[in-house]
């Protein structure tokens, strides 16, 4: 047979091979296998046709039959081969089977004898059983199950036995992995697609902010003590956490998270003892929400990539020190903008104790980023020139950006963070309709990320600014501007005003001016994507998601009353710093200013 070692020397057969061309002979006898002198192995069949005897050989790789002619002597020799090689081996196999049955019988007898033997480790089993039963009766003393009952009451005692038996078979390294599985990050953590501030990875899973690593370690230790199993120390627990699950982090207070995600995760956590249909529905709702957020995130990334690929040649000749003529570049440029948390000054990295309880001078931060360059213009708004963060001020900064820092594109695409009070309002739709109607753009696309999943390029640039300001002693607006410029090559500073209230970038009353030409869009918060085109003056094309059906709505109040080119709204003057606030800065903040900046930040009230 193939692969066997020959115990006997096989008789040599020298046979001539030829092909049957006539009618196929009738099978007479079958020989299971045959080794020929060339070392090859074949299936062989003995065929009889009249007085002639043949051996039909079917090769392994071919279905064509080839035959060998046999003389009477060859036929006898073939028969001897069959008896020596096949018949003898069949007898040997029968003997082996007989021995196996005898051995199996002996094994059964031995097993019967062993059942009467009293093992020494039965005491260990009894102790283990007692320990499990004791824990099952006393419970784990937590209140995580329904009706604030211990979670161990939801399990059967057989589950405890199986779990302990499985853990007894694991090595120390494998037991460490049990800690990773016990955290159950997919169920206990909040998953937030997109960038999370302060973390480079996008697969971050956030645990509630009221938890701490030390608190989780204490819970883990108490469980181990209750079950009588060894536990690792706090430092080892933290090392294993960082090594095995670095993507699980504890969220910081006041982190901008998706309220829908939080509600869905709470619903999943509270569905432990609910029917399977309720559990599946809770998981399905979260999956659909995350899938939608991921699709909108991918749309944003594609917009950035397409704009960057299409503008590379134009960027080689762009001079950012001078203004570009409007509609001088036939192409699409992508922008995004957002507000950041305000800065306070003076600010010292070695924070003096008393200033912690005081309110220094404030500086708001608004950034417009061009991802294709990349370059972000950061508007520094001192509280003396602040006119609020509503539609008028935000629209004025965007209008100034297009005029001074824009690339002169014919098509603009913008992304904002879906904040209704600042940029998702009718005034911004009116402003973009106004731009295409007077010829400042041929078309504009205005898009929003899904609420709660709005981390994008401006947040990255703001993060660079915050990292720099934390390490820099800042005592005036000029210090902030210099720090912004030094934070990274992508950041550019633009002062909106000076310490004394002088306005450098005016705020216009866009709401009142544009409100006389346009009307509000009904249910504006239900749409996330808007399009404006000069071929359709006064019409906004809106849709809920980027792959939804588009809807056209005309917002003109009167087709015969349209805005004129070259006209700007009236200027809104800032209220400035009140006398009470000025007195406070002089009395409480002046002493923390650097020399020769105190009269800028906290001058004496005249």
Tens-digit pLDDT profile for residues 152-183: 887 788 877 887 787 777 777 777 666 655 55
What is the 3-state secondary structure of 206-221?
EECCCCCHHHHHHHHH
Report, as an integer, the average pLDDT of 510-520.
Answer: 94
Indicate left, alpha or beta for 408 from its phi (over 0: left) and psi (-120 to 50: alpha). left
Report, as an integer, the average pLDDT of 79-95.
Answer: 56
**pLDDT recorded at residue 472:** 93
Query: At 185, is the secondary structure helix, strand, or coil?
Result: helix
Q: How many CB atoms lie within 10 A of CB 357?
A: 7
| Whole-angstrom distance, CA of residue 528 vs CA of residue 148 | 42
Q: Which residues pair with 542 in a beta bridge?
A: 530, 551
Alpha-carbon distances of 189 from 71, 412, 558, rounded to whole Å: 84, 38, 53
| Whole-angstrom distance, CA of residue 140 vs CA of residue 220 | 11
For helices 122-138 and 157-168, the axis angle rounded to 10 degrees is: 130
Q: How confident is the model at residue 79 (pLDDT cuts 50, 70, 90)?
A: low
Four-CA torsion 41, 46, 52, 58, nearest 10 degrees: -40
What are 418's two structure tokens?
A: 């879906």
The top-scoring range by mean pLDDT among 118-132, 274-288, 520-534 is: 520-534
The residue with greater pLDDT, 83 or 159, is: 159
Query: Which distant-in-sequence residues (6+ apart) come within 8 Å of 312 by Cβ?
Result: 372
pLDDT at 99 over 80: no
The top-scoring range by mean pLDDT among 221-230, 239-248, 401-410 is: 401-410
| Whole-angstrom distance, CA of residue 339 vs CA of residue 341 | 7
**pLDDT recorded at residue 549:** 94
The residue with greater pLDDT, 167 or 298, is: 298
| Whole-angstrom distance, CA of residue 233 vs CA of residue 375 | 48
| Whole-angstrom distance, CA of residue 78 vs CA of residue 180 | 68
Phi and psi dihedrals of 120, rounded to 5?
-75, -25
| Whole-angstrom distance, CA of residue 258 vs CA of residue 193 | 10
The residue with greater pLDDT, 308 or 13, is: 308
Is residue 363 within 8 A of residue 382, CB to CB? The reply is yes
Nearest CA-CA partner of 512 in 563, 546, 456, 577: 563
Residues in the chain: 606
| Whole-angstrom distance, CA of residue 124 vs CA of residue 67 | 71
pLDDT at 296 over 50: yes
Burial (CB < 10 A; 0-12, 13-18, 19+), residue 151, is: middle
The residue with greater pLDDT, 65 or 204, is: 204
Alpha-carbon distances of 470 from 124, 590, 596, rounded to whole Å: 61, 20, 22
Compute the Cα dihedral for 408, 413, 417, 421 and give only its sign. positive
Q: Which helix (H) or strand (E) holds 244?
A: helix 234-244
Report, as an integer, the average pLDDT of 218-232.
Answer: 88
| Whole-angstrom distance, CA of residue 337 vs CA of residue 372 | 14
Alpha-carbon distances of 133 from 127, 128, 136, 139, rounded to whole Å: 10, 9, 5, 10
Indicate left, alpha or beta for 335 from its phi (over 0: left) and psi (-120 to 50: alpha). beta
Mean pLDDT of the chain: 78
What are 259's two structure tokens?
A: 């309220």
Is residue 337 within 8 A of residue 367, CB to CB? The reply is yes
**pLDDT recorded at residue 407:** 93
Compute CA 120 distance to the chain's CA centroid, rounded to the nearest angstrom: 54
Alpha-carbon distances of 123 from 119, 391, 499, rounded to whole Å: 9, 79, 84
**pLDDT recorded at residue 13:** 40
Is residue 535 within 8 A of residue 543, CB to CB? The reply is no
Q: How confident is the model at residue 87 (pLDDT cuts 50, 70, 90)?
A: low
**pLDDT recorded at residue 606:** 79
């Amino acid at each position: 047979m193939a692969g066997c070692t020959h115990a006997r020397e096989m008789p040599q057969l020298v046979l001539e091979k030829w092909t049957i061309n006539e009618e196929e002979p009738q099978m007479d006898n079958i020989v299971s296998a045959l080794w020929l002198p060339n070392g090859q192995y074949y299936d062989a069949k003995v065929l009889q046709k009249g007085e002639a005897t043949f051996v039909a050989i079917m090769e392994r790789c071919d279905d064509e039959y080839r035959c060998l002619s046999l003389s009477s002597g060859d036929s006898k020799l073939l028969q001897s081969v069959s008896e020596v090689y096949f018949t003898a081996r069949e007898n040997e196999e029968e003997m082996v089977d007989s021995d196996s049955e005898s051995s199996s019988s002996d094994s059964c007898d031995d097993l019967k004898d062993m059942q009467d033997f009293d093992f020494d480790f039965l005491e260990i089993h009894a102790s283990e059983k007692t320990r499990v039963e004791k824990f099952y009766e006393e419970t784990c003393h937590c209140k995580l199950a329904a009706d604030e009952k211990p979670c161990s009451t939801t399990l059967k005692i057989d589950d405890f036995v199986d779990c302990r038996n499985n853990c007894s078979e694991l090595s120390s390294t494998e037991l460490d992995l049990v800690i990773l599985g016990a955290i159950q990050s997919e169920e206990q953590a909040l998953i937030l697609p997109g960038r999370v501030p302060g973390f480079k990875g996008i697969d971050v899973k956030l645990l509630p902010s009221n938890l701490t690593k030390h608190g989780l370690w204490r819970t883990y230790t108490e469980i181990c003590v209750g079950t009588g199993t060894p536990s690792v120390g706090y430092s080892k627990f933290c090392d294993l956490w960082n090594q095995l699950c670095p993507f699980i982090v504890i969220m910081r207070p006041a982190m901008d998270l998706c309220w829908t995600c939080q509600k869905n995760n709470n619903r999943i956590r509270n569905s432990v003892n609910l029917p399977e249909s309720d559990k599946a529905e809770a998981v399905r709702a979260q999956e659909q929400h995350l899938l939608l957020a991921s699709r909108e995130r991918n749309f944003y990334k594609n917009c950035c990539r397409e704009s960057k690929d299409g503008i590379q040649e134009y960027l080689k000749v762009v001079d950012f020190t001078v203004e570009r003529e409007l509609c001088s570049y036939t192409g699409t440029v992508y922008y995004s903008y957002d507000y950041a948390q305000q800065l306070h000054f003076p600010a010292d990295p070695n924070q003096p104790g008393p200033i912690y309880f005081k309110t220094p001078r404030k500086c708001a931060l608004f950034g417009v980023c061009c991802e294709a360059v990349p370059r972000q213009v950061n508007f520094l708004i001192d509280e003396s020139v602040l006119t609020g963060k509503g539609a008028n001020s935000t629209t004025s900064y965007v209008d100034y950006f297009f005029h001074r820092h824009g690339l002169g594109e014919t098509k603009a695409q913008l992304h904002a963070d879906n904040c209704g009070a600042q940029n998702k309002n009718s005034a911004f739709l009116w402003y973009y309709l106004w731009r295409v109607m007077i010829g400042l753009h041929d078309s504009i696309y205005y898009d929003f990320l899904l609420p709660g999943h709005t981390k994008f390029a401006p947040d990255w640039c703001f993060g660079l600014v915050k990292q720099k300001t934390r390490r820099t002693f800042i005592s005036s607006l000029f210090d902030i501007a210099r720090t912004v410029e030094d934070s990274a090559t992508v950041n550019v500073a633009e002062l909106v005003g000076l310490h004394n209230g002088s306005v450098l970038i005016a705020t216009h009353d866009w709401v009142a001016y544009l409100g006389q030409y346009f009307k509000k869009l009904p249910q504006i918060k239900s749409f996330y994507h808007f399009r404006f085109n000069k071929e359709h003056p006064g019409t906004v094309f809106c849709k809920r998601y980027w792959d939804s059906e588009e809807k056209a709505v005309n917002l003109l109040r009167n087709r015969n009353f349209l805005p004129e080119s070259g006209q700007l709204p009236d200027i809104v003057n800032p209220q400035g710093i009140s006398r009470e606030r000025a007195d406070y800065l002089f009395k409480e903040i002046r002493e923390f200013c650097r020399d020769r900046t105190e009269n800028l930040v906290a001058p004496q009230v005249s």
